Structure 1
Amino acid sequence: MSPLLFTTLTLLFLSCVNARLTLDFYKDTCPQFSQIIRDTVTAKQISSPTTGPATLRLFLHDCLLPNGCDASILLSSTRLGPPAERDADINLSLPGDAFDLVVRAKTALELACPNTVSCADILSVATRDLLTMLGGPYYPVFLGRRDGRSSLASAVPRYLPTPSMPIPEILRLFTQRGFSVEEFVALSGAHTVGFSHCSQFISNVSSSSSYNPRFAQGLLKACADYHNNPTLSVFNDVMTPNKFDNVYFQNLPKGLGVLKSDHALYSDPVTRPFVQSFATDQDAFFRVFATAMQKLSLLGVQTGRKGEIRRRCDQIN
């Protein structure tokens, strides 16, 4: 199948999904939905500033898998079944703040509107609200998702990018899900907030000449004890780490990227033009990022009689 035909079919599918989802899905069944999410998000982000980037990463790791945005990343493994997605190696570093946020929101919503709001909708809206709190773009979130009933760690490695993957390989993961190169680069801009563990990049710092020399020295110093303390980490954007903006893209030509994939994003001739464009035009970055996030939030959603409304987000009913 040609990339153009695949993209066309994907867009047709997403338009059909939109027909089943609505922006006011909980208007009658849970009118407090939006306010409860906002209150929970605000309180959690103020108390734990890492919540925003943590939730964004959790959302991405949920939606990029073949089963799409079904909150399967939230399911815990059981003694009788195979390991769940959250126990895949790449997901073991997902920060607990994001899981805690969803638990808090779900608890409040179950008290107000029992058996009504899906964990998948909670994660989708909470991610959007946190992005706007950090200064990022607003985009409408269609609602009515239902939660998936399966979660397999074995499916994860083939569909989620890692910092050491070459750009063509990471790009393939996104284009096969219907994203353009420009949208992929915009989504990579999520690294403008959050942090990376030293173990994810430190070996590349020592072996690559793409890092700014002073920055490389700073990274090596900050991560000097990472063997004894695996929790050591650094901000992905050293200039404005807590603000969602386009400074991440401005950093890359200066050698101020943290991960190997950050540097490759600028050095690869396919993605570099979009890095340069977003570095000079934050409005363009925000516009493409918002479109890509909305598209991401609609991948593989289950509606109607498919899936379920979990009573607890970490286990099926």
Structure 2
Amino acid sequence: MASGRRGSSWTSVVAMTMVVVVASSVPGARGQLRMGFYAQSCPGVERMVGDFVRQHVRRVPTVAAALLRLHFHDCFVRGCDASVLLNSTAGSVAEKDAPPNLTLRGFDFVDRVKTLVEEACPGVVSCADVLALAARDAVAAIGGPSWRVPTGRRDGTVSSMQEALDEIPKPTMSFKELTDMFASKGLGVRDLVWLSGAHTIGIAHCSSFADRLYGYPGAGAGNDTTDPSLDAAYAVNLRRRKCRAPNGGYAEDAIVEMDPGSHLSFDLGYYRALLKHRCLLRSDAALLSDAAARADVESVVAGPEEVFFQLFARSMATLGAVQVKTGAEGEVRRNCAVVNSPSN
């Protein structure tokens, strides 16, 4: 999807937040979600999920980023159907075992929430809804925005490693590649810009951006060349400290905060670092390669934090309705890791 020229004042950005998002208005959504879906079949389930999430995330705030990323990766493959939670079987390698998902966390946490819900309402609440609610509540628990999560999602019964490889955005993607992939899910350019803001509480492994630090194509000769679009001092710090291995090479599994100094706070730090060319991933830096996307980033940084919260919440509501299964589609898994047996 091509991006057009957009206004640069944050007041024009605010106007974009006054949009109500429902599943039926989202391209690619295959069914209707609604607020209060479980009001009769499992009353109080949203409060139950929220209480559990808040209790645990406030003790271990890094859980918020894990659940948010888990929800995002789920929705990008077969829609928001909890297929990312399924285990591999003898005949099929599941999404969770695809290379992009090997660093995902939060599976056990979702299982604990699901167990709690099953005890109250057996076979009623889907894993997909549990994940969507938990991701929202986790972000709110660390001081981030909240958003409306209509429910009624059904769980998928298929999980494919190859589909995860093909459909999850890669950290090396260009702006066009990213916008094309987002468009295929019914998500626009602005959704790309605002959903990228989740990196304010994210981390990255050095292996995901090592290409920007060592032997960057076109930067010059030798193995010590870096991406010229990366702030020079920041690149030196990454190479000499954050990603340096004891043997002098780089440590692939070393972890770096995407928003140094406030990675446990949901704020504008990620976008401020982005404008200073201190972002880790090529896919983050790509946002500045498009004039309109850059204008949006500059606008939100210049305005109050609440504007970002509203924009992020709007895009998360849109994401949560991507290609959902409802009605007779899919199933309601009793165990999020395996499909139901015929007897269920």
State which of 232, 237, 247 in structure 2 corresponds to 1:218: 237
With structure 1 as the length reference, what TM-score do the two structures score? 0.90
Deviations 1:36-89 (A, max 9, x none): 212221233134322111111111111112x2000000000011x221111111
- Name the one with the larger helix percent: 1
How much does 1:278 deviate? 1.9
Letter in 1 for 2:154: R
TM-score (norm 2): 0.83
Q: CA deviation at 1:170?
A: 1.0
Is the contact made by 2:191 and 2:315 (CA closer than 8 Å) also made in structure 1? Answer: yes
The aligned counterpart of 1:71 is: 82
Match of 2:312 in 1: 289
Contact 1:21 1:143 in 2 (8 A): yes
Alpha-carbon shift at residue 304 of structure 1 (Å) = 1.3
- TM-aligned CA deviation for residue 279 of structure 1: 1.6
Q: 1:287 deviation in Å?
A: 2.0
Q: Which residue of 1 aligns with 2:19?
A: none
Tell me the alpha carbon deviations over residues 144-175 of structure 1, each in whole angstroms, 9 at most, x when there is no partner. 11101111111122221111111110111112
Is 1:276 paired with 2:298?
Answer: yes
Unaligned runs of 5+ in 2: 5-21, 215-225
Whether the 8 Å contact between 1:18 and 1:142 is mirrored in structure 2 is no
C-alpha distance 18-168 of structure 1, shift in aligned 2 (>3 A): closer
Report the equivalent of 1:201. 209
Deviation at 1:12, TM superposition (A): 5.4
* Contact 2:201–2:266 under 8 Å retained in 1: yes
1:300 is the counterpart of 2:323: yes
Q: What is the match of residue 243 of structure 1? A: 265
Q: 1:75 to 1:163 in 2, by over 3 A?
A: same
Query: How far apart, in 2, do the equivalents of 1:41 and 1:266 lie?
Result: 35
User: Do the aligned partners of residues 287 and 302 (structure 1) sit closer, same or farther apart at CA in structure 2, a change above 3 Å counting?
Assistant: same
Find out whether 1:264 has 2:286 as its counterpart.
yes
What is the alpha-carbon distance in structure 2 between the residues aligned to residue 33 and residue 313 of structure 1? 17
Match of 1:314 in 2: 337
| Cα distance in 2, alignment partners of residues 148 and 60 from structure 1 | 16
CA drift of 1:205 comes to 2.5
Corresponding letter in the other structure for 2:80: C
* 1:77–1:87 contact (8 Å) kept in structure 2: yes
* Closer, same or farther: CA 211–15 of 1 in aligned 2, 3 Å: closer
Contact 2:201 2:259 survives alignment (8 Å): yes
Equivalences for 1:1-317 in 2 at 5 Å? Answer: 13-14=25-26, 20-65=32-77, 67-79=78-90, 81-95=91-105, 98-206=106-214, 207-220=226-239, 221-225=241-245, 230-281=252-303, 282-317=305-340
Question: Which secondary structure does the structure 2 equivalent of 1:271 belong to?
Answer: helix
Alpha-carbon displacement from aligned partner over 1:170-217 (angstroms, at most 9, x marks no partner): 111112222221221011111111200011112313421222232222
Identity score, percent: 38
Q: Secondary structure at the match of 1:158?
A: helix
Mapped partners of 2:165, 2:45: distance in 1: 34
- Tell me, what secondary structure is at the counterpart of 2:256? strand
Q: Which has the higher contact order (CA 8 A, sep 6+)?
A: 2
Note closer, same or farther for the CA distance 1:16–1:204 as it changes in structure 2 (3 Å cut).
closer
Q: Deviations over 1:260-317 (max 9, x none)?
A: 2222222333421122122222333222211111111111111111111101000000
| Structure 1: unaligned runs, 5 residues or longer | 5-9
Shift in CA distance, 19/83, structure 1 to aligned 2, threshold 3 Å: closer
Deviation at 1:13? Answer: 4.9
RMSD over equivalenced CA pairs, Å: 2.5
Change in Cα spacing, 1:59 to 1:251, as seen in structure 2 (3 Å) is same
Task: Report the alpha carbon displacement of residue 18 of structure 1 after superposing the two structures with TM.
Answer: 10
Indicate the SS of the match to 1:20: coil
State how far apart, in whole Å, the 1-side matches of 2:29 and 2:107 are: 26
